[in-house]
A = this chain, B = another copy of it.
Amino acid sequence: MADLRTRVGALELRSPLLLASGIWGESGVSLRRAYDAGAGAVVSKSIGSEPRDGYPNPTIEEYGSWGLLNAMGLPNPGMVAYRGELAAARQGGAVVIGSIFGHDASEFRTLALAMAETGVAALELNLSCPHAEGLGSEIGGDPTLVTEITRAVKEAVPLPVWAKITPNAADPAALAVAAVAGGADAITAINTVRAMAIDVDLQRPVLTHGLGGLSGPAVKPIGLAVVWQIYERVQIPIVGVGGISTVDDALQYLLAGASAVQIGTAITHGGAGLFSTLNAGISHRLDELKIPSVTALIGAAHRGTQSV
């Protein structure tokens, strides 16, 4: 039986499959359900300073089996109310990564301090939501701000800090480099890809916000390229995310250079059971390939290939 354990820096994980931020993240019980089903860790909803309703519906457009478009608008109950959810999530020992978003370094720092108090195992900085004015990729697209925010958080809290970067950049790896400069412990990539749906009958955009972010199988080839490019540029671990729904999807991200991966949209079809199914599937697939452990795959596709 192949060894499923991996680590992201100092953080040891029983499985390389994590729950992505924004998925099942409003309720602590939901996070715990994912952990109990076999996730290596669960990432919280991205939490801000104040409660936010997010955008009015429609916030979602479905593209059959290959994609999902969303502009939720970062709904979240705010840091204060969210403490209770995190406590519920951590009951029974779930490993929780706390995701936060803010407008500037000082807001990130304040949120990081509050999040750190809840006992999360690491912080993930949402520098990449593609559809929130003055937040997410609007600041996360600027390398200087990425460095500044990461540094502010690192200086404030003793936790591992993962910087989640956007694919909506000419050179996403440069943003990863900027996060490293700020002291990031890991890079999470990718967030959703800026996209849009328009209805012909109504002659109008479908999402209330107009622009949204694409996720699901369609973005897997895009996420793999970003992770590949980051791996060639930074030494810190990468957490891969984007379109993973099968065993091979997850292994492809590991081969591209990810130390662990996150699953988001696939939960729509797979439910919590997806974690146990994929854990078993990875184990079986590694045995078949005669590879002893998940860690043996990390970045392995770079070997023998010239830099591309």
Contacts and interface: CB of A to CB of B under 8 A. Distances in A.
Nearest to A222: B195
A224 B214 CA distance: 12
A301 B218 contact: no
Interface residues on A, range: 35 or more
Interface in A72-117: none
A10 interface: no
Within the oligomer, what is the number of copies of this chain? 2
B195 A225 contact: yes
A283 interface: no
Interface string A158-183: 00000000101111000000000000
B69 A248 contact: no
A36 to B, nearest CB: 28
A150 B197 CA distance: 31
Interface of A: 61, 63, 66-67, 69, 137, 141, 166, 168-171, 193-201, 203-205, 209-211, 214, 217-219, 221-222, 224-225, 228-229, 248, 251-252, 255-256, 285, 289, 297, 300-301, 303-305, 308
